[in-house]
Every structure is written in structure tokens, then in C-alpha cells.
Amino acid sequence: MKRIVVLSGAGISAESGIPTFRDGDGLWNQYRFEELATPQAFARDPGLVLDFYNWRRKIVVDAQPNEGHKALVKLERKYEVQIITQNVDDLHERAGSKNVVHLHGEIRKARSTADPNLIVDLDSWELNLGDMCEKGSQLRPHIVWFGEAVTMIVPALKMAETADLLIVVGTSLVVYPAASLVVYVRPDKPKYYVDPKAYPVGGIQNLQVIQKNAGEGLSELVEELLSKD
């Protein structure tokens, strides 16, 4: 069975009502995300950082998977599909995708500030000061903050190396190391980039640029791939 690797970014969840970083509006416009998503920010003002993630988590909890997420699930009828997402939401899983790797963490989980391996599911959208892990330490969002290691990139790059086909969707391809994944797919393998602002990525061969929203672009692409021998 052919292996398809999908690299997704914030844009695939935009049609579900989850703002991308750069199009962010409202309350948090006054803050730079980079200044809230760091270990230093959490040390300085943990309540503010927890509030920021509570706000984002509530949006995710209330959101539903869209046609783009659902189209990728259909691909599993015929292909082995591995999703590598930069997103911290769980919309790929809720749509039904079986194999999802999160490069930047998962917003509906928390982890111990004392033991990074102690990870718990959050039942609600709230994580507050005083919410402790079983070892008695404050829980923090299970998110890879700026300046922290992206440990999941190691297995993700291996997956990219062995892909028969790559789909990149809803990402500006500016956040590293995630963006470097594209380079690891063999030059002779077909690659598709679905994003209204998709562009020919320098040095990448066999890349088809599809300047469409994820819902429409992925639905069409998936139909095409399913109809192939």
C-alpha cells in the first residue's frame, strides 16, 4: 500500500473557525503570540499564559472538523496515511484520521511542570493556577513553546523520507523545523501544496501548487488520488 504523508498547518483548521497565527484578531491582538508562548512568559506570569491557552482551547473544543479534515480521512480507504501536523488542535483525530503526529503539542492535554513525561487529558477547556499533577506540581499546557525542542521532528523526518507522496496543506512553511520536512521527501515523489497562498517552494521538485482553501482543494485532490490505479 502506498504511503501518503500529509504536513498540515493552521490553515486546515481556518474553515473550522480556528484563527491562524497571522490572521489572529480580537482580545489577543494586543499581545505577540511569541511573547505568550515561551517558558519565560510562563515563569513571569503563569496566569496570563494559562488564560491565553484557555481562550484558544475553548475555541478548539467548540470547533468541528471541516471538509478538509474529512477529505484526508477518505484517503485511508486506499492509502496508508500519516498526518504530521503543526496544529495543536485535535480536529484531525475527531474527523477520524488514524495516524496523527503533533509536532507542536496538543492543546487538549496538560503536562506536569515537574515531569515532562506526565501528560494528562483535559476534560474541559480550563487549566488554571492550582491545577496540580499527581506529583503535586502545577500543570502546564502540553505545547511546544518557542525555544523548546521539537522532539517529534525526528520520527516525522523518517516518515517523510519514506513517503510515496506528500501533501502540504494550510501552512506558510515558515516555521522550522516543520518546514524542513518537505526537503526530506524524495525528489522523484509527487508533492502537492494546498493553500490559497501556496507558492513554488525553491529547490523542491515534482511540486504541484494548488491555490485553494483546504476544504475545496483537498476534496478535489483526494477524489483525484482515489480515482488513480
Q: Which residues bind ligand NAD (CB under 6 A)?
A: 9-15, 18, 20-22, 86-89, 104, 170-172, 174-175, 195-197, 213-214
Q: Would you put residue 76 in left (φ > 0), alpha (ψ -120 to 50) or beta?
A: alpha
| Residue pair 94/47 in contact by the 8 Å Cβ criterion | no
Residue 208 pairs in a beta bridge with 192
What is the residue type of 117? N
Burial of 223 (0-12, 13-18, 19+ CB in 10 A): exposed
**For ligand NAD, which residue has the nearest CB?**
11
User: Please, which residue, 37 or 133, has the CB nearer to ligand NAD?
Assistant: 37
| Distance (Å, whole) CA 195 – CA 103 | 20
Kindly give the pairing relationship between strand 165-169 and strand 3-8. parallel
Which lies closer to ligand NAD via its Cβ, residue 133 or residue 185? 185
Please, what is the minimum distance in Å from the beta carbon of residue 68 to ligand NAD?
Answer: 7
Cβ closest to ligand NAD, residue 139 vs residue 167: 167
| CB 122 to ligand NAD: min, Å | 15
Residue 85's DSSP bridge partners are 8, 102
Residues that are catalytic:
104
Decide whether 133 or 191 has the Cβ nearer to ligand NAD: 191
Q: Determine contact, residues 193/8, Cβ cutoff 8 Å.
A: no
Least distance (Å) between residue 80 CB and ligand NAD = 24
